[in-house]
Structure 1
């Protein structure tokens, strides 16, 4: 994309912010005396464009704008204003030239074929319950790959019969605005090297404590995010209604909206909090599409599925949002923890604050983990990478702690794009993050709710100091004797 096109795109994004901002429209225009004298002959309606962010988008600040106008004549200033007005008007919907909706072929006999379920009557009869896809007792590396090496469940009856604690489901939605390939995220995480087993930090094996299943993939119409999110919401609700915790593997971050909404359909609006790990704040608004991977936060909050004061952002950095985004979060009571805050206060302080905020009010918790919160050194396979992110040593403990200290209603991991990573590390680290949450849920199941819990077995060798010294001396003597032997 050329620099001019990038600039135009940025201008259009900014226009969407001020186009519906009534408060901005009401503010008074105050001009420097020299500028005020020059624009006396310019119609007031043209000067209204200076209420918008366009002047600052073009020249940085209003001071720089006024400075740039000092050597211009009134007619030149009016021409400049006309140019900004032209951009603003061209950005608006025009019923004579624009489609208000995207038409679909409702006469197509395949209209709903992408999500039609296979009738039970076409399947062999079986008792409900999870199905193991390997003939061997060791399910890792044998049989058919599944999330966490878990058995498969297909219907809600399987979840109920198996008394399933966690149902991991793929949602291969792939409508990101930059690099594409997120629909292969579930596939990559199923075939990744690390899919389960013991967590050495806590000596907890989630698969030994929890009933975990792979619930397959949710059907997606990758020609339409708007259509797909409705079906995702249905499936997430279906899992939650059985009492199982949905773990959703994306797919792009548009999924956060239907995942939160589906859980709210079961647990109630505003009944749980959200911790959103991301380099982007994803609360964009006023775009032509109501839902994209940059807008799920705004829509989930706007529709009341989660209360803004119970929404916490972690890991924000990069060039978006600007001041207006942070002001919107502040004005709505949301909490956020940027990488700038980490730089200022240190990770331990930020983590402690975020964990305390998540526990406030004793509400249940949903975690939305966008892998681009991690530094691209750890996850190069993501569509919108931003340098300067979390390390795995920072991410794993906070995810494990959140999932042990709080009653979880759901977890999602999104934006993994394995096509961008010729190595295995992106899928590997994504699996480690999901396993950290599974470990936390298992810890809580066992009554361990201290987020900083670490097993003594792996952190303290518990050997008497005298015994260690004696063994070291004995080892040195044996080495000396070995060296004294004639060499063959």
Structure 2
């Protein structure tokens, strides 16, 4: 039999003709081959069952092959169906009991539901269905010689590494190390918006020597990476965060604490990390190196993305300094970001898996907050539990209330480690507050929930790094995402400033702003 193929919708795979010729099926019953093949097309990216193989990628001590998928339940063909399988070859019968069948027999119905449907078909129809499934499975599997295991690069290009080659100090005008103020006017930072925009209106620093000479507390660095998401415009996040700086600047103290991070901290803009926006794999080492060099200079790295694939090199870079397993992570996100067995080993859906799998962070030191997306399935939650991870979903918030969940997460954050990295995906917030992001999910955190926990984490815990990611300016038509993202950054900086001042007590709020204390003039204070 000659099998013709047609392009499947939105995918670089082809479906066998049995998936498309409904006329070849009797009209008295619904043709199942089309149903199954469309299901197969929708399942080509379904990875939690670990059906696809992945080629290893090298990056620093880098991405390695993913874990071997957990064993799937054994498939048994029911006795009532066996007499109807006479038209199947031995290969087709073997397929019906192989793990590959789960691509077409997704839980909760699974193989039992598929077999129940096959029982209503003729042997010839069953043969056509199974043939179609086998054909799709063969296209999905990696095959050496047919499929490239790596992305080819022109290693003879004279500009192969020009994108991240650093300019030696000898080629720059001679100067004393230290932060550089680049505004022209004394009052420019107070509202004229003159000069070159920087994070927090801060001076710039170019080298670790600048950080050391300036005794810099916090170095904010942009990482305009977008290839890890597949959604547009996260690469412009750093630029827009600099120009939309309403929460950053010498506007006065944070009212909740009466601490002004701009006054208390020595903050610099460390520029943008070099990014090859045609290759996430090529970019991550430079991000990792930059995070590590900031930390080694004695400053706290704050990374402004960019998409969430950045968490992997961010955390790897900080553990290069403090040691694997010595740093905990609090991860705010609507998604659990621990997918694996994907064709690409590094993207914005896998950083949690990567840092756990490679040992940068112990599972017991990894805390997830804000999960609520469609997925993971049961296998994903089991994976987190098996790795002793802590997760706090919006389901828990609905049951216990935000304050209880916040206190639980804060307590867990210091149970097993004294160093903490915070990774904040802005889609942890409800889209009402952050519409400018690629993968918004309704039902998220509010600003009044997110700001206190960030401020408290950065004040009450020893935070050694922070990233804020997935802001996409082109999607932010109201500018509210930029405003709110900057306020989240300000909450973290306020907490770091509080810790520097020695204000580390639980849930500190300024008594000056909590209560007017003028009850003797009439009225009551609650």
2:95 counterpart SS class: helix
Moved more, 92-101 or 53-62: 53-62
- Is residue 12 from structure 1 mapped to residue 44 from structure 2 by the alignment? yes
Partner of 1:484: none
**Contact 1:165–1:210 (Cα < 8 Å) also in 2:** yes
Which residue in the other structure is 1:183 paired with? 235
TM-score (norm 2): 0.84
1:389 equivalent in structure 2: 444
* 1:134-187 Cα deviation digits (max 9, x unpaired): 244442434322111111111100100011111000000011444210111001
Corresponding residue for 2:105? 56
Q: CA deviation at 1:422?
A: 1.7
How much has 1:425 moved relative to structure 2?
Answer: 0.8
Give 1:42-441 correspondences, 5 Å limit. Answer: 42=88, 43=90, 44-49=93-98, 52-57=101-106, 60-138=109-187, 139-140=189-190, 141-192=193-244, 193-196=246-249, 197=251, 198-441=253-496
Quote the Cα distance in structure 2 between the aligned partners of 1:218 and 1:45. 51
Distance of 1:245 and 1:15 partners within structure 2: 36
Query: Does the CA contact (< 8 Å) of 2:288 and 2:314 recur in 1?
Result: yes
Q: State the secondary structure of the residue aligned to 1:126.
A: coil
In structure 2, do the counterparts of structure 1 residues 166 and 324 end up closer, same or farther at CA, with 3 Å as the change threshold? same
CA displacement at 1:9 relative to structure 2: 5.6
SS at match of 2:71: helix
- State the secondary structure of the residue aligned to 1:173: coil
Contact between 1:402 and 1:451, CA under 8 Å: does it hold in 2?
no
Residues 98-128 of structure 1, C-alpha deviations (whole Å, 9 max, x = no match) = 2121111111111111112223223222211
Q: Tell me the CA shift for residue 66 of structure 1.
A: 3.3
Q: CA deviation at 1:449?
A: 1.5
Find the aligned partners of 1:186 and 1:299 in 2 and give their Cα distance. Answer: 24
Judging by fraction of residues, say which structure has more helix. Answer: 1
Change (3 A) 1:464 1:345: closer
Aligned-residue offset at 1:424: 1.6
1:83 Cα deviation after fit: 2.4
Q: Aligned runs of 1:439-458 on 2, under 5 Å?
A: 439-458=494-513
Per mean C-alpha deviation after superposition, the further-off stretch among 1-10 and 248-257 is: 1-10
- Structure 1 distance, partners of 2:283, 2:99, is 40
Q: Does the 8 Å contact 1:49/1:85 carry over to 2? A: no
**Which structure 1 residue ranges, 5 or more long, are not aligned?**
470-488
| Root mean square deviation, CA, Å | 2.3
- State how many pairs are aligned: 467
Report if aligned partners of 1:178, 1:384 keep a CA contact under 8 Å in 2.
Answer: no
1:24-58 Cα distance to aligned partner (Å, 9 max, x none): 25x43334443355447753412223664224339
CA shift for structure 1 position 273: 0.4
1:29 maps onto 2:75 in alignment: yes
SS at match of 2:432: coil
Aligned to 2:31: none
Secondary structure, counterpart of 1:121 in structure 2: helix
TM-score (norm 1): 0.90
Q: Distance in 2 between matches of 1:424 and 1:248?
A: 20
Kept after mapping to 1: 8 A contact 2:426/2:468 = yes
Name the counterpart of 1:481: none
8 Å contact from structure 1 (residues 46, 82) kept in 2: no
What is the SS of the residue equivalent to 2:97?
Answer: helix
SS of equivalent residue, structure 1 residue 24: coil
Match for residue 514 of structure 2?
A: 459
Match of 2:25 in 1: none
Moved more, 182-191 or 10-19: 10-19
Instruction: Provide closer, same or farther for how the CA distance between residues 7 and 282 of structure 1 changes in structure 2, counting only shifts above 3 A.
Output: farther
Residue 289 of structure 1 deviates from its aligned partner by 1.6
User: Does structure 2 retain, via aligned residues, the 8 Å contact 1:18–1:52?
Assistant: no
| Deviation per residue, 1:233-255 (Å, 9 max, x gap) | 11111101011010000011111
Q: Contact 2:95 / 2:101 at 8 angstroms: preserved in 1?
A: no
Alpha-carbon contact 1:261-1:305 (below 8 Å) kept: yes
What residue is the counterpart of 2:23 in the other structure? none
